[in-house]
Amino acid sequence: YVFARRSHLSPADAEDAVQGFCADVIRLEFLRSADRSRGKLRSFLLGAFQNHLRTLHRDAKRQKRGGNALVFSLDDAEASLKMHAADEETPDRAFDRRWAFTFLDLVLKRLREEYEERGRGEVFEVLEPTLVWNSAEMSHEALGTRLGMSAVAVAQNVKRLRERYRKLLEREIADTVDSPEAAAEERAHLIRVLAGG
């Protein structure tokens, strides 16, 4: 959506383009043609979406909203675009930034599921904010009070949570590429995107 908006489509046209693209991906089983040896999934999807936008433009057609098409809710996408994207941000940068945040959300979701499966959902909920780098303002004593743990036990749990998050992140990155070198490259790209570069 952000890429489409940064490509000068109106909010409604951007929603139509994304919904049409997603419907085509599902209907045509498009992802089966993705080949790890030819590059990253992110690049594959971006190239495919650019082609989709070119096709829409060339044919001068707009995907009708609703009907029999598969519809995805994009109600908050416009607000997200306004809140998070600078006016001078290119479509490629906006796409990379959105990809990075979506990727991190996926890792966080997997980590939450692991904790919940082990009956430690409350520990995860209380300690999740400590995954943010500048979370020094949260005292281990205060967190321990909420969890019924000592400050030392909280520190150990925070360390384990961060280590597990890092391992899940590394695994997710490795699953999107075909070599350790490509994983290192993708990790560096993710860091650059998150740093705003």
CA pair distance 60, 44, nearest whole angstrom: 24
What residue has token string 């990379």? 96
Most confident range, picked from 28-37, 70-79, 140-149: 140-149
Across the range 45-60, mean pLDDT stands at: 73
pLDDT above 60 (res 38): yes
Domain ranges of the chain: 1-85, 89-197
- Report residue 135 as tokens: 């979370």
Quote the pLDDT of residue 84: 54
Portion of the chain with pLDDT greater than 90, in percent: 27
pLDDT band at 63 (very low <50, low <70, confident <90, very high): very low
H helix intervals, 28-76: 41-59
Q: Identify which has the larger pLDDT, 18 or 70.
A: 18
The CA-CA-CA angle for residues 120, 102, 95, to 5°, reads 170
pLDDT, tens digit, 9 for 90 and up, residues 153-195 = 999 999 999 999 999 999 999 888 888 998 899 888 988 888 7
CA pair distance 173, 40, nearest whole angstrom: 10
Quote the pLDDT of residue 66: 39
The pTM assigned to this predicted structure is 0.57
Contact 156, 60 (CB under 8 A): no
pLDDT, tens digit, 9 for 90 and up, residues 71-89 = 344 445 545 555 555 556 7
Category of 179 on φ-ψ map: left (φ > 0), alpha (ψ -120 to 50) or beta: beta
- Tell me the residue type at 76: D
Rounded to the nearest 5°, which phi and psi values hold at 46? Answer: -65, -45
